[in-house]
């Protein structure tokens, strides 16, 4: 795998790893043999995803996505497909939740802490998104769609629902 540690070009948001995934998204195609498919959309910016999964015996055997959007959306979805392939459904869900928590670190540090022991791999390159509140939903669209596709467990009461 390419070492990206030094290739952070002049911007904390658009790191090289994000640009690379954007230019060359992995698994960017529909799966004709998918067992699960779901569409997701960010109405305000037009990011659109069609996420296909092949799940057998609780394991995500294959994953692909269609749709288009900005670089942050595309890179995040591309990394998603790399990371969840071969994982169990519950491992994938844990990863999705951990990533959501990491991006909410500025607004919700308590939730962010709970995710610290999960390895987020290339997703850490998207940390810069935390400084751009309107772009967080671009990074999360594929993950939110994943959570919906694999049947989200009822959300635990999050702090934001408290008054």
Partner 1 sequence: MYDEELFAKIREDFPVLKQKVNGRPLTYLDSAASAQQPEPVIEEVCSFLRTSYANIHRGLYDLSENSTRLYDEARQTVADFIGVRDTPTVIFTRNTTESLNLIAYTYGEANIEEGDSIALPVLEHHSNLVVWQQLALRKKAILRWIEIKPDGTLDLDSLDKALSFKPKILAFAWVSNVFGTINPVQEIVRRARASGPVTIVLDGAQGVPHLKTDLKELGVDFFAFSGHKMLGPTGIGCLWGRRRLLEKMPAFLFGGSMISSVKREKSSWDVLPNKFEAGTPNISGAIGLAAACRYLSKIGMDQVRAHDQALMSYAIDRLNDVEGAEILGPLDVTERCGALSFYFKGLHPHDIATVLAKEGVCVRAGHHCCQPLMRDIGMKGTTRASFYVYNNFEDIDRLAEALGQVGKIFPESPCSPGCAGNRLKVMVQSGHHLLGPVCCSSGCCQNDCSDMPSSRALGNTMDSCSPTLRAGRPEPIDLTNIKITPLNK
Of 107-136, which residues contact partner 1 (CB under 8 A)? 132, 134-135
Among residues 34 and 111, whose Cβ is nearest to partner 1? 34
Of 69-98, which residues contact partner 1 (CB under 8 A)? 69-74
The answer to the question of residue 106 lying near partner 1 (CB under 8 A) is no
| Contact present, 84 and 95 (Cβ < 8 Å) | yes
Least CB distance to partner 1 at residue 133 (A): 12
List Cβ neighbours of 55 (8 Å cut-off, separation of 6 or more). 35, 36, 61, 89, 150
As given in the structure block, the two tokens for residue 47 are 């990011």
What is the C-alpha separation between 117 and 21, in angstroms, rounded? 25
Least CB distance to partner 1 at residue 137 (A): 11
As given in the structure block, the two tokens for residue 157 are 């009461």
Among residues 81 and 149, whose Cβ is nearest to partner 1? 81
Of 13-32, which residues contact partner 1 (CB under 8 A)? 13-14, 19, 22-25, 27-32
List Cβ neighbours of 122 (8 Å cut-off, separation of 6 or more). 4, 17, 79, 82, 83
Residues that bind partner 1 (CB under 8 A): 9-11, 13-14, 19, 22-25, 27-32, 44-48, 50, 64, 66-74, 132, 134-135, 138
């Amino acid at each position: 795998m390419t070492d990206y540690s030094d290739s952070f070009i002049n911007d904390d948001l658009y790191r090289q790893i994000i640009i690379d995934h954007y230019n060359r998204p992995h698994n960017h195609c529909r799966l004709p043999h998918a067992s699960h498919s779901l569409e997701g959309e960010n109405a305000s910016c037009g990011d659109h995803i069609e996420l296909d999964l092949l799940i057998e015996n609780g394991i995500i055997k294959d994953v692909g996505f269609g749709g288009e959007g900005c670089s942050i959306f595309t890179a995040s979805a591309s990394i998603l497909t790399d990371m969840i392939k071969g994982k169990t459904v519950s491992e994938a869900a844990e990863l999705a939740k951990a990533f959501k928590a990491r991006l909410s670190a500025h607004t919700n540090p308590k939730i962010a802490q709970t995710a610290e022991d999960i390895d987020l791999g290339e997703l850490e390159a998207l940390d810069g998104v935390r400084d751009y509140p309107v772009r967080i939903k671009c990074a999360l669209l594929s993950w939110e769609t994943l959570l919906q596709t694999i049947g989200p467990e009822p959300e635990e009461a999050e702090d934001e629902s408290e008054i």
